[in-house]
């Protein structure tokens, strides 16, 4: 839905999709489905679109033990900016400092 909403510039649907994705990540962060959903979200959005990307990085920050899962390691390796975002968020230091 997020991808379609972005394509057709439907802001309300994009926001709703992001909220639903966030709720799903909060419930299923420790299941195999999280890594699959995260990969899809990261591979179908542009770097500048932080909607779903922030949800993925925030979920990993909130459950840092995820970095020890092989499928999350693959995500963080394939999407290098994700590793950097997690590191920045864990240090609680703004990126402009």
Give the span between the Cα atoms of 43 and 41, in whole angstroms.
6
Instruction: Please name the residue that has the structure tokens 């920045």.
Output: 88
DSSP calls for the chain: -HHHHHHTT-HHHHHHHHHHHHHHHHHHTTSHHHHHHHHHHHHSS-TT-HHHHHHHHHHHHHTGGGGGSHHHHHHHHHSHHHHHHHHHHHHT--TT-
Q: What is the pLDDT of residue 93?
A: 65
pTM equals 0.89
Q: Which tens digit of pLDDT belongs to each residue from 1-48?
A: 898 988 899 999 999 999 999 999 999 999 999 999 999 999 999 888
Largest Cα separation within the chain, whole Å, is 37
């Amino acid at each position: 839905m997020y991808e379609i909403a972005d394509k057709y510039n439907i802001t309300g649907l994009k926001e709703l999709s992001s909220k639903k994705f966030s709720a799903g990540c909060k419930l299923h962060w420790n299941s195999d489905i999280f890594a699959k959903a995260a990969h899809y979200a990261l591979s179908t959005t542009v770097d500048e679109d932080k909607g779903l990307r922030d949800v993925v990085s925030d979920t990993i920050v909130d459950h840092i033990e995820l970095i020890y899962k092989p499928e999350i390691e693959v995500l963080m390796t394939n999407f290098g900016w994700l590793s950097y975002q997690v590191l920045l968020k864990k240090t609680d230091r703004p990126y402009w400092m």
